[in-house]
Structure 1
Amino acid sequence: MNTAPRRDITLERITYLRGPNIWTYRPVMEVWLDLGELEDYPSNLLPGFNDRLLALLPALEEHHCGVGERGGFIQRLREGTWAGHILEHCVIELLNLAGMPTGFGQTRSTSRHGVYRMVFRARNEEVGRVALQQGHALLSAALNDEAFAVPAAVEAIRQAIDDCYLGPSTASIVAAATDRGIPHIRLNDGNLVQLGHGARQRRIWTAETDLTSAIAENIACDKDLTKTLLTSVGVPVPEGQVVDSPAEAWEAAEDIGLPVVVKPTDGNHGRGVSLDLRTREEVEAAWPIADAEGSEVIVERYIRGDEHRVLVVGGKVVAATRGESLWITGDGRSTVVQLIDSQLNTDPRRGEAEEFPLETIKLDREPVIRLVLERQGLTGESVPAAGREVLVQRNGNLTIDCTDDVHPDVAQIVSLAARVVGLDIAGIDLVTTDIGKPLAETGGAIVEVNAGPGLLMHLKPAEGQPRPVGQAIVDHLFPDGDAEPHIGRIPVVGVAGTRRSSLIARAVAWLIHLSGRHTALACDDGLFAGNRRIERARFRNNHQFWDAGHRLLMNREARAAVFQNPPALILDDGLPYDRCHVGLVTDFDGFTGLEHHDVRDAEQLYKVLRTQIDVVFADGAGVLNADEAAVLSLAELCDGEVVLYTQQGADGLSAAVRDHLAAGGRAAVLRHGCVRLVSAQGEQLGVDARKVLARHGLADDAAYTEALLAAAATAWAFGISPELIGAGLETFELHAPA
């Protein structure tokens, strides 16, 4: 028994940074750690620790760490590294094992002895917290030579992922949007997601979009009405009748001609569908199974061939799969249920979670399968003879990709079917003996048109090539050739610093509004949509301020957005947007009150406010106060154009500003109380700041003047003309609304 004193680290503070932050562009979990006595015991001074840790997590061998090659972290362990850094790698490895690959992590010391800040990439706060909890427990066990169940820890993280993450269909669309640089916002705990911002957004709910007609969805749910519409344009469909009872079902079957299919009119996923029925007993037995799944029951002519699912997006076929029948083979000892479990449910594609393309087969919830067995004289408890092949499911498992086999005539017909129903995204179910031939030749027909089709069968087919269906949907929602350079985005302006930053943000929003864009604004004075304040500044903390500002990006009317970003907001939550078109930094004065973030001077604040410049697009602009040397030094970090502003224009420009202009740059310069906009093309009058101040009963105030200068430079960087800047600032209300 281990009687040595316990060694552990204390998690002092856990902060989820939801937007771009001092560490990275992406969301991370920041953890403040107190190592206690472990500050004096790096890993090479802890007997047996490294071996115990690697026994628990042998894949740590793959971590490159700062060494930059496989085994790099092991090298650090043997040389001696501290517990905070080790915890970082434990958490990352547990996330990797749980199926959430994570590569980013950092650990840095603070000004307090033995206290560190550790961060790791966390796509979701709840998953990040569970991973941290499990990683901390694992490290504690390794430090104290205690048992730890790694599989249970991984399963806990997987469960958190299942509870929190998007379904596979939605996730594939979001991933495709991310690949195109389109941001997304999750609007609920399920699969309702906004792609893009403001007026340029689209919304998806799994494979339904805001272009999907509610009328079309209702038509698709009514199988009889769907068939009527398809018949009217010559799309082949099986003859059928809606019936109200088992007796009526048999009468309809006699009229149509055997064999027939009995199914619900508004069912989906093949539930309640019985195929190839040839006797009165079979037809009447199938009626209650279908009736339990839908509002009405329909009897249709049975079409010979295999079931196929064809995905149509925006009128184009983007994927197709074929079904296969399921069989089990008797061994003379096992029951049907046991054979299903041993021969079918062991398929790794089957499971109860959403990421599995196939469901586990359980007879107690599969009346159609029970009916198929009964037609063969079997039940779940029957023991088939050795070698006897038993049909379990006919034409299920639409998981064999056949996209490249679809005949052009079939593609034209399924596209027509989607258009007739009115769906922008449709899963067309058809039956044919060969999808590589016209339906007229094979006698095939379309049997269903489905709204909101699942995509997993196309993303993870059992056989064949996965298809980029998420990309097809994103390309449908955001077509190429869009006039705006950043697809799905509205222009965003960020104002960082503390010198009249709320006033500057209001002025910039006013000027953008005058240029013809409905502009959203988040600042200390409240939230604004256009000229209307929609929420007063009553935020108790930065988390509420972040939430409120982020909501502006959901506003479908917004065609531009302006955000005031105080340093504390970046430290507590990150920026409320991922990238911006114009980013302004006014000063490094705002470090007072940030001691709990270990920020105590302007040099440390530099690392915070650089975030605003780091997220500027390459075709955007960073606006910097040239009168502050530290702020001016941010210019080298800006991927886009740099626009300067300075009050030192009357007595001659500084060397830095002169060099900037000589290199073809732009600057807003204050000369004798007037804002001048200077570039290689010449110099233009922006506005007489003294007149603006006088109109509000203010003397020649340096702080207000600097704010007007910064606002003019930012609006100019945004693309607003000097003439409109001048006229707009003259009419701008300096005083904040009451």
Structure 2
Amino acid sequence: MKKKDIEFRRVTYLRGPNIWTYRPVLEAWVDIGELEDYPSNTLPGFYERLTAWLPGLIEHHCGVGYRGGFLERLRDGTWAGHILEHVAIELQNLAGLQTAFGKARQTCERGVYKVVVRARNEQVGRAALEAGRQLLMAAINDQVFDVPSTVEHLRNLVDDHHLGPSTACIVEAAAERRIPSIRLTDGNLVQLGYGNRQRRIWTAETDRTSAIAEGISSEKDLTKQLLSACGVPVPEGQVVESPAAAWEAAEDIGVPVVVKPSDANHGRGVSLELMTQADVESAYGVADAEGSEVIVERYIRGDEHRLLVVGGKLAAAARGESLWITGDGTSTVVQLIDSQLNSDPRRGEAEEFPLETIVLEREPAMRLLLERQGMQADSVPAVDQKLLVQRNGNVAIDCTKDVHPEVAYMATLAARIVGLDIAGVDLVTEDVSRPLAETRGAIVEVNAGPGLLMHLKPAQGEAQPVGEAIVRHLFPEEEDAGRIPIAGISGRRNTTLIARLLAWLLQLSGRHVGLACQDGLFLDSRQIEHSPHAHWQGGQRLLMNRTIDTAVMEHSSAGILGEGLAYDRCLLGIVTDVSGEDELAEFFVQEIDQVYNVLRTQVDVVLPNGFAVLNAGDARVAEMASLCDGETLFYASDAAAPAIAAHRDNGGRAVLLRDGNVLLAQGGEDTALAKLSHFPLARDADDITVEALLAAIAGAWALGVSPDLIRAGVETYTPATTAAR
């Protein structure tokens, strides 16, 4: 009997750290309906159909912890929500976005599950989740399902929406260094780091890439003039404006020559080793069709090479190869290209392939080369007749280890002359392991924003860690993670006041502070927006601001559940209380233990060199001390709170209230900060406001603000103090 379809109640993209993991995930509320009564082992043929469609499921360990663990759960019997989790993960893997994290948890409502899957890209993750639902229902109901076309659709979404491979490799290398990133557009503009410590990349361009240098590199003739003036070997050449002028230049230079557009890309419009007037004039038309100036230059014998220079150092090198086809007496040139060249698995239209598919119709330079050999696209070469199809543009063979030091020096010198921090230096030589002077080789182009795929996925040889080289260039100090101090405040009790006061104290210490809270968005106490900004987007806006060196953000439990935190890690996490389960029913949160799991997120993301500031007067908050990777500071309006004594016995710090005095305590020593009555905020204040005052003081103390400055700041602070600035 056909089973009723599973239903998505809600699908939320949690963009930052959340109750499930540090990383972005999709959280789907899934109603499996009648399937709650039908675990997998009760569905005839289901196991066989699912594993035939997705054989990669054998690699899923699941909670069992070993290869084949999930399949074991399938055989023994598990529910549709759990199965959907693994199917969505596997579909993303097949689409090229590798992931392994997922969770499925039953809610308080029968048959309704929270299904969570890691999603590197929201659009792809949502599509994989929906495709997973359809695939799962087809397997349950013994219906047809087209897995290959589904995977192809997901791969197309990856191409359309995910970072390109060059940018992705840099972001992944940054992540290895614990450097956070923010994607600034739907394209490949990415921020590495936060606030005034950030750097920006756009594929293989950085915020250190000079616009003047880019302009020079786009003018190939100007580039050659500058390189030649500085002693870099370049081929003699001229810019020409007509076919006749092209042949005149060829006669001046001496054949053979090269005719190419000044802005050549992937070898398009480039014709090599031209000997006759007819060939040169025909090649002029091919180059001119590319839309830029046409250059005629001396032909350099050898193979084309691409040397990647990053920060004045050689990072990688790749060599090109000529392409040939061999006739069989029956197939046309186009058919031979498809069968002998395009069948290469390294070739494809998508950006992930190191070599492009050859389409003769869009390659006039190739057609001209074939015509010089007496062939057209529909010609049928004789048996064993060899035809040269392409001499350049196939740079995908790694040769990094072969580059002679003098060749590497010339490449880095060329990049410096042009002024590029990252450059793709094209040179031609018969042997890259020998100096250019010996081989009569030369540098022919210096390119800004070079592609990295040939070095990441070479057709032959070892992949090179070019992403690491670029990250090292941007963040040369190994310990530099591009971070600024971030303070997060979570809970229900006066978190806005804590955030405002803490930001004020940090600003008084000389920092440029950004604040996102329920009162609005603030930069150095200047309110720039009045609407509430205690959410993910408000926090991200702070972190993108290049003027701030410290950020303070307020978070609600609902915000953590609905969006996640705006940052990956923080230096300071403050938790005021564990309460408010009655306000979170829409998230299936009904018990205080569930609230605890939400708010512990704030402590989980504290850096090892950071601090958790916890309310010792709330026993559940005090429990979170064991979760902190860094140091814990307690605060309490009751100096006799149970958690305080043991904490101080271990040398811990606390901010306490005793006999009307605010004390900074460390181990067995107490230092009086001031009388509570000296602080305007504390006069006629309730206990919750006093606790908020202590929390802000503890946060400022943890972040290195001196006691004298804390005292002065709290004595002079009122809500109007910052609003007026």
1:461 aligns with 2:458: yes
Specify every segment of 5 or more residues in structure 1 that has no aligned partner in the other structure, as ranges: none
1:490 counterpart = 2:484 = yes
CA RMSD across the alignment: 1.6
User: Which AA in structure 2 matches 1:708?
Assistant: L
Structure-2 residue corresponding to 1:502: 496
Say if 2:496 and 2:554, in contact at 8 Å, map to a contact too: yes
What is the CA distance between 1:258 and its match in structure 2? 0.8
Aligned pairs for 1:640-659 (under 5 A) are: 640-649=630-639, 653-659=640-646
TM-fit CA distance, 1:486: 4.8
Q: What is the alpha-carbon distance in structure 1 between the residues aligned to residue 375 and residue 489 of structure 2? A: 73
Is the 1:567–1:608 Cα contact (8 Å) retained in structure 2? yes
- Decide which moves more: 347-356 or 584-593: 584-593
Supply the distance in 2 between the matched residues of 1:505 and 1:66 (Cα, whole angstroms): 40
For 1:277-296, what aligned pairs fall within 5 Å after superposition?
277-296=274-293
| TM-score, scaled relative to structure 1 | 0.96
Q: 2:122 aligns with which of 115, 119, 125?
A: 125
**Aligned twin of 1:382:** 379
Separation in structure 1 between the aligned mates of residue 570 and residue 272 of structure 2, nearest angstrom: 56
Q: Please state how far the C-alpha of 1:5 moved relative to its aligned partner.
A: 4.3
Q: Could you tell me how far apart the structure 1 residues matched to 2:45 and 2:433 are?
A: 64
CA shift at 1:113, angstroms? 1.6
Displacement of 1:40 in angstroms is 1.8
2:442 to 442, 445, 448: 445
1:689 aligns with 2:689: no
Aligned to 1:216: 213
Question: Where does residue 100 of structure 2 map in the other structure?
Answer: 103
SS in 2 for 1:395: coil
In the alignment, the residues of structure 2 paired with residue 682 and residue 722 of structure 1 have an alpha-carbon distance, to the nearest angstrom, of: 15
Q: Residue 517 of structure 1 aligns to which amino acid in structure 2? A: R
Q: CA deviation at 1:538?
A: 4.9
3-state SS, counterpart of residue 342 of structure 2: coil
Partner of 1:716: 701
Would you say the 8 A contact 2:517–2:532 is kept in 1? no
- Pick closer, same or farther for the CA change 1:174–1:158 going to 2, 3 Å: same
1:143 corresponds to: 140
Match of 2:539 among 549, 564, 567: 549
The one-letter code sitting in structure 1 at the alignment partner of 2:696 is: A
Q: CA separation in 2, counterparts of 1:687 and 1:573?
A: 40
> Helix, strand or coil: the match of 2:356?
coil
Partner of 1:203: 200
1:577 maps to which of 550, 567, 578: 567
Deviation per CA, 1:665-690, whole angstroms, max 9, x where unpaired?
Answer: 00001123332111138332334332
Matched residue type, 2:39: P
Instruction: Give the C-alpha shift of residue 23 in structure 1.
Output: 0.6
* Residue 420 (structure 1) shift: 0.6
Q: CA deviation at 1:381?
A: 0.9
The letter for the 1-side match of 2:672 is L
- 1:623 maps to 613
**2:57 is the alignment partner of 1:78:** no
Alignment match, 1:734: 719
Report SS of the residue matched to 1:398.
coil
Query: Residue 322 of structure 2 aligns to a residue in which SS?
Result: strand
Q: Which of the numbers 659, 676, 695 marks the counterpart of 2:663?
A: 676
How far apart are the structure 1 equivalents of 2:408 and 2:79? Answer: 61
Residues 680 and 718 in structure 2, CA contact (< 8 A), matched pair in contact too? no
Task: Tell me if the contact between 1:648 and 1:671 (Cα under 8 Å) persists in the aligned partners.
Answer: yes
Q: How many angstroms does 1:499 deviate by?
A: 0.7
Tell me how far 1:296 sits from its aligned partner: 1.3
1:270-309 aligned within 5 A: 270-309=267-306
- Structure 1 residues 220 and 5: CA distance shift in structure 2, 3 A: closer
User: Secondary structure in 1 aligned to 2:173?
Assistant: helix
Alignment partners' CA distance in 2, 1:607 and 1:125: 24
Match of 2:647 among 656, 660, 674: 660
AA in 1 matched with 2:551: A
1:687–1:730: 8 Å Cα contact kept in structure 2?
no
* C-alpha distance in structure 1 between counterparts of 2:657 and 2:648, whole Å: 15
Structure 2 SS opposite 1:344 = helix
Q: Is the 8 A contact 2:611 2:702 kept in 1?
A: yes
| Aligned counterparts, 1:249-264, within 5 A | 249-264=246-261
2:47 corresponds to 1:61: no
Find the aligned partners of 2:416 and 2:637 in 1 and give their Cα distance: 62
Counterpart residue number, 1:530: 524
Question: Are the counterparts in 2 of residues 494 and 580 from structure 1 also a CA contact under 8 Å?
Answer: yes
What is the distance in 1 between the residues matched to 2:419 and 2:350?
Answer: 31
Which of 84, 87, 91 is matched with 1:94 structurally? 91
Aligned-pair CA distance for 1:701: 3.0
- Residue by residue over 1:230-272, the C-alpha shift from the partner in whole angstroms, topping out at 9 and shown as x without a partner, is 1111111111111111111111111111111111123332221
Task: Output the amino acid matched with 2:453.
Answer: L
Partner letter of residue 467 of structure 1? Q
Any conservation in 2 of the 1:316–1:415 contact (CA below 8 Å)? yes
The aligned residue for residue 567 of structure 1 is 557
Q: Establish whether residue 369 from structure 1 lines up as the match of residue 355 from structure 2.
A: no
Q: How does 1:161-176 map to 2 (within 5 A)?
A: 161-176=158-173
Q: Distance in 2 between matches of 1:444 and 1:78?
A: 65
Q: Give 1:310 shift.
A: 0.6
Code of the aligned partner of 2:709: L
What are the superposed Cα offsets for residues 185-213 of structure 1, whole Å, 9 maximum, x if unpaired?
Answer: 11111111111111011111110000000
- Using a 3 Å threshold, how does the CA distance of structure 1 residues 570 and 700 change in structure 2: closer, same or farther? closer
Measure, in 1, the Cα distance between the counterparts of 2:43 and 2:301: 71
Aligned position for 1:471:
468
Equivalents in 2 of 1:34, 1:109: separation in Å?
10
Give the equivalent residue in structure 1 for 2:589.
599
Aligned partners of 1:240 and 1:300 also within 8 Å? yes
* Aligned CA distance change for structure 1 residues 640 and 522 (closer, same or farther; 3 Å): same
- State how far apart, in whole Å, the 1-side matches of 2:369 and 2:46 are: 59
- Looking at structure 2, the residues matched to 404 and 65 of structure 1 have their Cα atoms a distance apart, in angstroms, of 42
- 1:427-465 Cα offsets, whole Å, 9 max, x none, are 111111111111111111111010001111111111111
**Which residue of structure 2 lines up, in the alignment, with residue 244 of structure 1?**
241
Which stretch shifts more, 237-246 or 5-14? 5-14
In 2, are the aligned partners of 1:693 and 1:700 still within 8 Å (CA)?
Answer: no
CA–CA distance in 1 between the matches of 2:558 and 2:586? Answer: 10
* Residue equivalent to 2:7: 10
Residues 83-110 of structure 1: per-residue CA shift (max 9 Å, x gap): 1111112212222222222211111111
- 1:346 counterpart = 2:343: yes
What amino acid does structure 2 have at the position aligned with 1:251? E
**Which runs of structure 2 are paired with 1:154-193 in the superposition (5 Å)?**
154-193=151-190
Whole-Å separation in 2 of the counterparts to 1:5 and 1:216: 65
Q: Would you say the 8 A contact 2:267–2:392 is kept in 1?
A: no
2:326 corresponds in structure 1 to 329
CA contact (8 A) 1:687 1:725 kept: no
* TM norm structure 2: 0.97
Question: Structure 2 CA distance, aligned partners of 1:75 and 1:377?
Answer: 64
Distance in 1, matches of 2:561 and 2:368, equals 62
Match of 1:432 in 2: 429
Contact 1:268 1:450 in 2 (8 A): no
CA distance in 1, matches of 2:55, 2:312: 50
Residue type of the partner of 1:711? A
